[in-house]
Chain A
Amino acid sequence: MEGSTSSPASSSQSLAFYDFLDRMRNPASLDLLRSIKSFIVSFSFYPCNPESDGKRVQEFFSTTETAIRDHPLWMGATEEEIDCAMEGLEKYIMTKLFSRTFSALPEDARIDNDISEKICLLQTFLKPEHLDIPALLRNEASWLLAEKELRKINGFKSPREKLLCIMNCCKVINNLLLNATISENHVPAGADDFLPVLIYVTIKANPPQLHSNLKFIQLYRWQAKLVSEAAYYFTNLVSAMAFIVDLNATSLSMDEDKFEENMEAAKLKSKLKSEEYQMIKQGEAKCSSSGKMCDEIEETRVMSLESNYPYMEARSGELKERDVDRLLSLYKDLVLKYTALCKAIDCLPISEKEPILGHLKMQETVSLVAPQGQ
């Protein structure tokens, strides 16, 4: 687990990077510096191609490793010092080449978007039980922490630091599982427990540009270090993503019709949202082009945002006489909807009815109590 538990910004590693930069400033390393700079410049002569770019970077890492080992500046250096130099090299090169190599193809951005959109849909209804995650592993605090670690991935440009975000996320889950076996007498189930939790955490986190990040690490992480434990956790996130991409009605512990229904509902919801957003955007665009239209558009904008319950935020002192008509019609509308809803719930089987009724009752009590409280 060498160094893998430390956060990417850990002081020892940033010191190592500065040490690398320091050595590069040393006149004795001029030859190395020249080869690094000319390597970076050489990329502008080739059209962008992730596979061959990755291969060239990896080849450069290994030739430079040999050069460093033979270099007078590293004479008698320990393995650890060579490691630091190589990590510094990776960070330096990949930060310089980041804009060319990260999410390099238009299709990468498309895949990223597709995954992110699918996760958004899944987020609206997916529960831990749909992946058969045992109840004692449903630990919100741990999961939140794991999600947070994973979302840090876009805050870094070097493959090593991105990989560390994945490692840290996995370690949080790992600790959760180990604790469950120690304190709760849960039979250790290894990957049977680990992967479902990682998938769930990934869905909750929805880290932007997931595909591009994984591809970037795969191609540009110094290969000698994408082994062992790091490779294992990396593979798990790759497979979590593959699972999400291929996820369909048969992938979950959920009735297939129910899955389709949930997906349709989620799509409709996101469509409505994006339409509302478009309307606002268009309104703003028109606003800036013609001042005359402004008031009218401002009105539709407010309407579209608060169209359903425009008086939710209102105070009694602010209401005018002309609001009475609108309030009354809204009130009637609500009552009609509510009674229709109650009738509809009566038709449901008991198992589905219970949670909904409980929720409605709660709402009712709140609305009854609130006016007295004020």
Chain B
Amino acid sequence: MGCGSSTLGRDSRPLGRDNSENGGGQDAKNLRVKLVLLGDSGVGKSCIVLRFVRGQFDPTSKVTVGASFLSQTIALQDSTTVKFEIWDTAGQERYAALAPLYYRGAAVAVIVYDITSPESFSKAQYWVKELQKHGSPEIVLALVGNKADLHEKREVAVQDGIDYAEKNGMFFIETSAKTADNINELFEEIAKRLPRPSAS
């Protein structure tokens, strides 16, 4: 099975190299961003990021593809770059209490559910509440309904996702890691919403 084959990203272009590892990461033009992935096990968290990281295919691009930690840099149209450092978390219930160790200091939290599973949608709402209570106040929250290709098995209406996200001031998108639908859009939108350090 796997997550499906790679396709090229459209608007976002990967970069040849970046030197953010050496402390130069936080100027206004080159952001380094910690992004944490939350959601029930089996909703396809890691498939989404693998899609994103592998989809940005460029032999010169400096990416890290681990099983649970990945990093990828994208260039935006305003010629800024964003290096995403993606922290995956274990979604099983027994590890829920460990999540604060992971989302501490994260600039972005992507909360994923599976549109064929109402339980995973309730779990997503649990994470939203937890982050509103304990996450950093400036954290950018994104709600993602994954497996959008499985129309016939859908059990969570698009509108439910939209309504919930709107009520909580989050960005919402439905994706398919399998067909790569909306994967790049997700990360580009996040990049746009990041607070910029004032250029001085």
Residue positions of A touching B, CB distance < 8 A: 1-2, 79, 83, 132, 173-174, 177-178, 181, 185, 187-196, 224, 228-229, 232-233, 235-236, 238-239, 242-243, 246, 250-252
Shortest CB distance B70–A (Å): 9
* Inter-chain contacts of A181 with B (CB < 8 A): 2, 67
Q: Mark B84-114, 1 if CB is under 8 A from A, else 0.
A: 0101111110110110011000000000000
Stretch at the interface among B19-27, B156-164, B165-173: B19-27
Bound Cα distance from A2 to B19, whole angstroms? 11
Q: Which of B32, B89, B101 contacts A242 (CB 8 A)?
A: B101
Contact B2 A187 (CB under 8 A): yes
Residues of A within 8 A of B71 (CB): 228-229
The residue in chain A whose Cβ has the minimal distance to the Cβ of B97 is: A246
Describe B's contact surface by its main secondary structure: mixed
Which residues of A are found within 8 Å of B195, using beta-carbon distances?
none
B1-38, CB under 8 A of A: which get 1 and which 0?
Answer: 11100000000000000010111000000001000010
Flag if B68 contacts A191 (CB, 8 Å).
yes
* B87/A185 in contact, CB under 8 A: no
Other-chain residue from B45, B66, B90 in contact with A174 (beta carbon distance below 8 A): B66
B90:A185 contact, CB within 8 angstroms: no
CB closest chain-A residue, reference B102:
A235
B139 at the A interface (CB under 8 A): no
Residues on A with C-beta less than 8 A from B32 are 228
Tell whether B125 is near chain A: CB-to-CB under 8 Å: no
Q: Which of A132, A190, A250 is the one whose CB lies under 8 Å from B88?
A: A190
Q: Check B41 for interface membership: any CB of A closer than 8 A.
A: yes
Please give the distance in Å from B33's CB to the nearest CB on chain A.
11
**How far apart are the CA atoms of A194 and B89 in the complex, in Å?**
9
Within 8 A of A (CB), among B49-74: 49-50, 64-69, 71
Candidates B1, B22, B64, B94; contact of A251 at CB < 8 Å: B94
Least CB distance from B175 to A in Å reads: 16
Known: A185-B2, A187-B47; 16 extra A-B contacts, CB below 8 A, are A79-B19, A79-B22, A174-B67, A177-B67, A181-B2, A188-B47, A189-B46, A191-B68, A191-B90, A193-B68, A194-B90, A224-B23, A232-B68, A236-B68, A239-B95, A252-B94
Quote the shortest CB–CB distance from B52 to chain A (angstroms): 13
Could you tell me the distance between the alpha carbons of A2 and B95 in the complex, rounded to whole angstroms? Answer: 30
Residues A229 and B41 in contact, CB atoms below 8 Å apart:
no
26 contacts across the A-B interface (CB closer than 8 A):
A1-B64, A132-B92, A174-B66, A187-B1, A187-B2, A187-B47, A188-B47, A190-B46, A191-B88, A192-B46, A192-B91, A192-B92, A193-B67, A194-B90, A196-B92, A228-B71, A232-B85, A232-B87, A235-B87, A235-B102, A239-B101, A242-B97, A242-B101, A243-B94, A243-B98, A252-B94
CA of A2 to CA of B20, assembled, Å:
12
Assess the A2–B21 pair: CB atoms within 8 A.
yes
Shortest CB–CB separation between residue B69 and chain A, in angstroms? Answer: 4
- Distance (Å) between the CB of A235 and the closest chain B CB? 5
Q: Give the distance in Å from the alpha carbon of A173 to the alpha carbon of B95 in the complex.
A: 18
Known contacts A195-B90, A229-B66; is-contact A189 B41 (Cβ 8 Å) = yes
B154 to chain A, nearest CB (A): 20
Q: Which residues of B contact A192 (CB under 8 A)?
A: 41-42, 45-46, 90-92
Query: Are the CB atoms of B98 and A194 closer together than 8 Å?
Result: no
Q: Which residues of B contact A178 (CB under 8 A)?
A: 65-67
Contacts of B42 in A (CB 8 A): 189, 192
Whether B85 and A228, one on each chain, are in contact in the complex, defined by CB atoms closer than 8 angstroms, is yes
Q: Would you give the 0/1 interface string for B117-161, flagging 1 where the beta carbon is closer than 8 Å to chain A?
A: 000000000000000000000000000000000000000000000
Please tell me if the beta carbons of B22 and A83 are within 8 angstroms of each other in the complex.
yes
- By a CB distance below 8 angstroms, the chain A residues around B85 are 228-229, 232
CB-CB under 8 A from A228, the residues of chain B are 21, 32, 71, 85
For A132, the closest partner residue in chain B by CB is B92
Known contacts A190-B45, A232-B87; is A239 also within 8 Å of B102 by CB? Answer: yes
Contact B98 A239 (CB under 8 A): yes
Contacts of B95 in A (CB 8 A): 195, 239, 243
User: Is the beta-carbon distance between B67 and A194 smaller than 8 angstroms?
Assistant: yes
B3 contacts across to A, CB distance below 8 A: 187-188
Hey, which chain B residues are within 8 Å of A173, CB to CB? 67
Most interface-central of B68, B89, B90 (chain A CB within 10 A) = B68
Max chain B C-beta neighbours (<10 A), residue from A1, A132, A177, A251: A1
Question: Bound complex: CA of A18 vs CA of B94, how far in Å?
Answer: 47
> Does A188 lie within 8 Å of B97, measured CB to CB?
no
Residue of B whose beta carbon sits closest to that of A235: B101
Complex Cα distance, B67 from A181, in Å, reads: 9
Give the chain B neighbours of A185 by CB distance below 8 A: 1-2
| A120 vs B37: C-alpha distance when bound (angstroms) | 33
Q: Which residues of B contact A177 (CB under 8 A)?
A: 67-68
Q: How far is the CA of A239 from the CA of B3 in the complex (A)?
A: 28
* Cα-based distance from A196 to B41 in the complex (angstroms): 12
Separation of A243 and B71 alpha carbons in the complex (Å): 26
B69 contacts across to A, CB distance below 8 A? 229, 232-233
